[in-house]
Structure 1
Amino acid sequence: MNSIKILVVEDEIIVAEDIAGRLKKLGYSVTATVASGEEAIEKVAENQPDLVLMDIVLKGEMDGVTAAEKIRSQVNVPTIFLTAYADDKTLQRAKLTDPFGYIIKPFQQNDLRVAIEIALHRHEIEAKMRSALKDSEAARESVEEKSQRQNQYISMAAHELRNPLNTILISAELLKIDRTRSSDESQVKTIRLVHSATQKMNQLIDDMLFMGRAESGKLKCHPLPINLVEYCQDLLDQLQLGNEAKHKLILIPSSVTSAMLDQKLLHCIISNLIVNAIKYSPNGGKVTLELEYCLASEGDKEAKFCLSPQYLFANSKFKNNNYSLLIIRIRDEGMGIPETELGKIFEMFYRCKNTEKIKGSGLGLTIVKKAVDLQGGTIACESKIGVGTTFTVALPYVALASKIQSDNI
């Protein structure tokens, strides 16, 4: 928190010193305290703070609203307004500057901290969103495709971000209204809601950034040594912590544990498939992650045992004299995918008709397919309505020779 720099704009010297003191106690760095809008503009350009606390009513020719508007037009620095009183006309002007929050004087130290943290979260998210949109735009092959895809991104982002944004805004209002009546436990719960909503927004933005990098050819496969069983168990443990529906996440490990794989791409594959399995399964259902190692020659019975018919049908990339495969199967007991839609599930933004009441972006399986393709693998899906779904991923990989030999003795 010490790296966060804040500029205080307040024309009452005693109030300005009090605010600066509170900020320092909270661990923030105060770049300066100034008394006018003109000074604020100069200090922002000079010190480049991370956030500006701006009193709306300032003495002199320029009030806080005008100063905030000029700062916004010059640099990308979020502003939080401080006010004890302002007429309706001034407040309407303030809204046009798109402030990141309001603090009503007098305020408590906790109000100040919450307002700052929410403003910084929002600013960070908006910066990521701009970067994601920029990356995705650079990947377009034609003006028509660029326009169509941009509209899809904006529409999807606006729809998916609305709920967590509302959660953040409502939580902020609750903290402001109930600051004298609510307990510490209630405030902690509200802040957790803000944190959860922020995580959901960050995940959506990370997904968009992944797609932007993948489509522009910037995403590469970088295999590194990995203990496969430990890695998968740790990942399941992490997903179990956020599993509010209390699904049972089960790992069926392979006898071969050491391998060379891209951990980030592997994480994209397993985490997205597990999260989908949880999302589309009944509460308390069972989700199984099964690992299997396959070392075989083309046409061997062992290969046919490891691979389902779908793989043997289209798996030209594995048709070498000898190959080793990691087989990942993820099974759930969920609603299932209609047979007529199985061929469309990896398309960007596509969502099956029977999932309309469940929130989702339509990016998860597209990301899985990209991550599989980047590693030279393949993926197939088997599903039955009301029974469940199984995704099977086959990845070519290099297992450590000593471990393979010991397993084959």
Structure 2
Amino acid sequence: MKRANIMIVEDDRVVARDIRQQLQRMGHAVVAATADGEQAVALAAQARAELVLMDIRLGGRVDGVEAARRLRAQCEIPVIFLTAYADDETLRRAGETEPYGYLLKPFEDSQLRTTVEMALYKHAAEQRLRESERALRAAEAEVARVAQLTRMSELAAAIAHEINQPLAAIVANAGAGLNWLRRDPPDLAETREVLQSIRADGHRAAETIRSLRALSRRSGPSFACFDLSALVREVAELSREALRERGVKLNLEGVVPGARVHADRVQIRQVLHNLVTNAMDAMAEVPAGERWLILSVAPAQAEGTATVTVSDTGVGLPAGDTRRLLEPFFTTKAHGMGMGLAICRGILEAHESRLALAPSTPRGAAFSFELRLDDLKSG
């Protein structure tokens, strides 16, 4: 049995002496003794008692029950009550202090030993439980902090990823505008057109940031009805210069007109832009004459939905678990951020859709997703 520091609160000196001797024979240390319930709390804390044997009936203003209540509230020291007799009300009050045991005087050494051992064991178990709970709360707080930092990191990476293209377009258009102004005389018509493009790209970057912030806060998409085929053609037009520079041919024959969907137009444009950009990147190592980007919009197998597919003739999907492509910061590109497809997945999940990956024929990859048609205006 582990040695414990025990305090005795007993107003009968003979009984207190006998208890002291019994405890010492068991190997325990009696670190304090008092007959005053009012002094018990301060004395127990000062002596660093690990267990208190408390007589229920004490002289003075504070009886054993009140002293035990104060010990529990201020020191969390376990108490064993000693009593020869007690009325029902006193026993009820004693029970409310949640004692670790009762000993009816007079008692044998074996009774004292068993009660003390059980009290010390129970108190140690409760302490371990409290420590485990504190550790669990600390771990939960750390997990929450890491999750928050991860969300912040993902948001920062997503914003950097998504506004890179409009910022690049703004820089390129600004350079072109300066060239038009340097002409003699300045070409104001071309400059005006370039400034309009810069303004449009600025609005697009602002919309993208708003959309990503809403996605990170899980506030939900801003649903509206729009022509999905028109949006696909709009993204293709915005990407036309990049497609030309990379030697990629565009096929829009599968974009069937008239598919009106209920979705967040800005977020779906982000998805399409990311998929088109990924497709172009996947064809970087393919001979120039064999680079094809194929876009299609068609009714899906599920009634009331339309399917968008972005296919390429690139290197195809990597071997192994292709689901990792949709995880944040996972990339197969040498200089990629690994956010494009993760953003697509998050947006589509908010639309109760998912991004499907499949090999393309004769080579390359196909990415597709479904959106719900507008019930009133589809057709």
Bin for the TM-score computed over the shorter chain = 0.3 to 0.5
State the TM-score, normalizing by the size of structure 1: 0.42
Structure number, greater radius of gyration: 2
